[in-house]
Structure 1
Amino acid sequence: MSPHSPSTGAADRRPPGRVRAFLTPGRIVALLITAATLVFVFQNTRQTRIRLLVPEVVMPLWVALLGTLLIGLLVGGYLGYRHGRR
Structure 2
Amino acid sequence: MTAKTSHSGRKAGGYRGSLGEWLTPARTTVLVLVVLSLIFIFENTRTTEIRLLVPEVTMPLWLALLGMGVIGALCGALFMSRRR
- TM-score normalised per structure 2: 0.52
Question: Residue 50 of structure 2 aligns to a residue in which SS?
Answer: strand
Give the deviation of 1:40 after TM superposition.
Answer: 4.5
Counterpart CA distance in 1 for 2:79 and 2:41 is 28
Query: Does 1:72 pair with 2:79?
Result: no
Q: How does 1:8-27 map to 2 (within 5 A)?
A: none
Which amino acid in 2 is paired with 1:37? L
Q: Which residue of 1 aligns with 2:61?
A: 61
Cα 1:59–1:80 shift into 2, 3 Å: same
Deviating above 2 A after TM superposition, structure 1's stretches of 4 or more consecutive aligned residues are 36-40
Identity in percent? 45
- Are the counterparts in 1 of residues 48 and 60 from structure 2 also a CA contact under 8 Å? yes
For structure 2, the 5+ residue unaligned runs are 1-18
RMSD: 2.7
Structure 1 residues not aligned, in runs of 5+: 1-23
Greater helix proportion: 1
